[in-house]
Amino acid sequence: MHPYLIRLGVHPEVQVFFQPFYTVDRKGDLVFNYGDSIEHYGIAFHKIPVSENLFLAGSRNFHTVSHVIICTSAMDAMAYLSLNLPYFRDIRNLLFLATGTRPGTDQAHWISKNLAGKSFKCIFGNDLLGRVAEVKLAAGIRKMPAAVTVQAETVIVNFRMKDHVFTVDGFSLNALEKKTGYRFNIPVHKPKSFDSWIEHLQHHTFNY
């Protein structure tokens, strides 16, 4: 058990699940390796990288993985699982992927190639960046690329050779599906009343 995670309220079972996938530096801060960069979490800071790779936590035997959960950061992954643990029958079959702050096509291609046929879920934040990430990754995973452009209070998505225009508040993966008639079959789960899952956990009353 790590004191930062205990203080944050990460469930003990979740701490055990994620423990093999991070290291602790000389100051006691948590370090999550993306391969080309690191995510760094301390008592008063949280640095999330821009990466071309992914942070992975869970079974490396992809044949046994039942659900793939995609998010911005490793800390969001821990927060999400802590808050939703009762809904999972066996967390040993979960695989969490963190993209960093700017999901890219290389990440989507890796997911599509290595995890084809799996059940996916996106748990990005409620802000515009989180909604853009969901659209870009869902489109990339399904090999139906989408280009997203934000202009003032308008979001333009070029998808299937056509521009689709949304207001910022009205833009989401679900809104794109309704407008285009294409179903990505990648559910989105967002925290209610909070911008991110880690923020939700910080305000959650827990009793483990």
**Which pLDDT score, from 0 to 100, does residue 123 have?**
97
Would the pTM count as exceeding 0.75?
yes
Instruction: Give the pLDDT of residue 163.
Output: 96
Return the C-alpha torsion angle 147, 151, 154, 160, nearest 10.
Answer: -20
CA 119 and chain centroid, separation: 14
Q: Give the model's pLDDT for residue 168.
A: 95
Cα–chain center distance at 4: 21
Q: Which pLDDT score, from 0 to 100, does residue 145 have?
A: 85
pLDDT attached to residue 128: 93
**Cβ(71)–Cβ(198) below 8 Å:** no
Say what the pLDDT of residue 1 is.
Answer: 81
pLDDT of residue 152: 85
Q: What is the pLDDT of residue 205?
A: 66
Amino acid 208: pLDDT = 56
Q: What is the pLDDT along the chain (208 residues), one digit of tens a residue?
A: 898 999 989 999 999 999 999 999 999 999 999 999 999 999 889 999 999 999 999 988 999 999 999 999 999 999 999 999 999 989 999 999 999 999 988 999 999 999 998 999 999 999 999 999 999 999 999 999 899 999 988 999 999 999 999 999 999 999 999 999 999 999 999 988 899 999 999 887 665 5
